[in-house]
Amino acid sequence: MTWVLDNNMPIYLQLMRRIQQDIISGRYGPGDKLPSVRELAVEAAVNPNTMQKALSELERNGLVYSQRTSGRFITEDEELLKELKKEQAARYLEEFIENMHNLGLKDDEIRSLFEDAVKGDKEE
Amino acid sequence: MKPILECYGLSKTYGNGRWALSNLNLSLERGQIVGLLGPNGSGKTTLIKLINDLLVPTEGGVQIDGNLPGVETKKIVSYLPERTYLTPSWKVQDLITYFGDFYENFRRDRAEEMLEALGISLHARLRTLSKGTREKVQLVMVMSRDAQLYILDEPIGGVDPAARDYILNTILSNYNENATILLSTHLISDIENILDRVIFLQNGQVVLNASVDEVRMEQKKSVDMLFREVFRC
């Protein structure tokens, strides 16, 4: 399945985010081997050089590491993975709060709506 | 290593007082997928025909891997013309034999594998195939060569979106890492993600030569949107 990419952002950044997402969500676990550049490029339907760039950037962040002959692996640094999850959650929260403010809601209104939604979710 | 393609001062007029290409300079590195984009009449097909020795430059020249277009360059260039040249009475199988006889670097197994994935029978006569299917057959033949430069003139124009995905996938998974693909199309948004670079042609000249992510970073918009802006009618 082709990855959904949007128009305005550099493609390699979107690929980085998508792979980070796959790591956070557990599709790739710590120490797992990543598919090859070519395989990932075909899966995402993007240029292999662009995929290469995204992976090199992830390597610079320490999220993946490469072993000369055997390929690329996900970091086993659990702290780093936790950190990444927190960062992503913070991004979603920021976006959520901004959207709520755009609806003209006050902070305490947001809080109570949020509480209700979480409760409703549990009851289902 | 020499660039795979070099155009210097390349100019072409068909003798009607209009320059189809005028003083075009261009150099393509190996291992890239390059989109050749431009409005109708901007010179895309003229450029492609000059590279393939189907036209002679009025001024300037083209070199492929350091050679002028000719027998040697045709061995390493795999070309998909915009129009079909297939003999309608032939079977798909005959075409495979023909390509195999003609080109040393034709990979028969690769062609058969792709045709099978596309559900195209080797025994079908070309005249019985739909226009889109004929286009697919032709592209399969062209991509089944181990070439150094692939030149695809409107490769996805006539096929449905699902087949388009398959064709892009075919291009991505079959080209050699050191080969370069130059492809012209109007369907920019469909192919933007598989390109390294884009070249915009206008009135026979290069007006943009940049990587897709450079465009997105600097312009904050996709190549497709930039194209619509630059060439607004």
Q: Please list, in sequence order, all residues whose beta carbon lies within 8 angstroms of the beta carbon of residue B140, skipping any fewer than 6 positions away.
A: B111, B114, B115, B118, B120, B170
Q: Which residue carries 């320059």 as its tokens?
A: B19
Interface of B with A in 154-173 (CB under 8 A): 165, 168-169, 172-173
What is the Cα–Cα distance from B48 to B54, expressed in whole angstroms?
A: 9
Q: Is B66 on the interface with A (CB under 8 A)?
A: no
CA of A49 to nearest chain B CA: how many angstroms apart?
7
Please name the member of B195, B221, B224 whose beta carbon is closest to the beta carbon of A47.
B195
Q: Which two tokens stand for residue B68?
A: 């002028």
In this predicted model, what pLDDT tens digit does every residue of A38-96 receive, in sequence order?
899 999 989 999 999 999 999 998 899 988 788 899 998 888 888 888 988 998 899 99
Q: Cβ contact (<8 Å) for B213 and A7?
A: no
Q: What is the DSSP letter of A34?
A: P
AA identity, residue A98 = E
Percent of chain A residues topping a pLDDT of 70? 97
Length of chain A: 124
Show the low-confidence residues of chain B (pLDDT under 70): none
Please name the member of A11, A42, A45 whose beta carbon is closest to the beta carbon of B212.
A11
Q: Assess contact for A3 and A44: CB atoms under 8 A.
A: yes
Task: Provide the mean pLDDT of chain A.
Answer: 89
**Cβ contacts of A47 on chain B, cutoff 8 Å:** 33, 172, 193-196, 212
AA identity, residue A58 = L
Q: Cβ contact (<8 Å) for A11 and B33?
A: no
Residue A1 has pLDDT above 60, yes or no: no
Q: Please list, in sequence order, all residues whose beta carbon lies within 8 angstroms of the beta carbon of residue B144, skipping any fewer than 6 positions away.
A: B99, B106, B107, B108, B110, B111, B114, B174
Q: Which residue carries 């549990």 as its tokens?
A: A122
What is the Cα–Cα distance from B178 to B19, expressed in whole angstroms?
A: 33
The pLDDT of residue A124: 61
Please name the member of B173, B213, B225 whose beta carbon is closest to the beta carbon of A50.
B213
The second-level CATH assignment, the architecture, of B5-230 is: 3-Layer(aba) Sandwich (3.40)
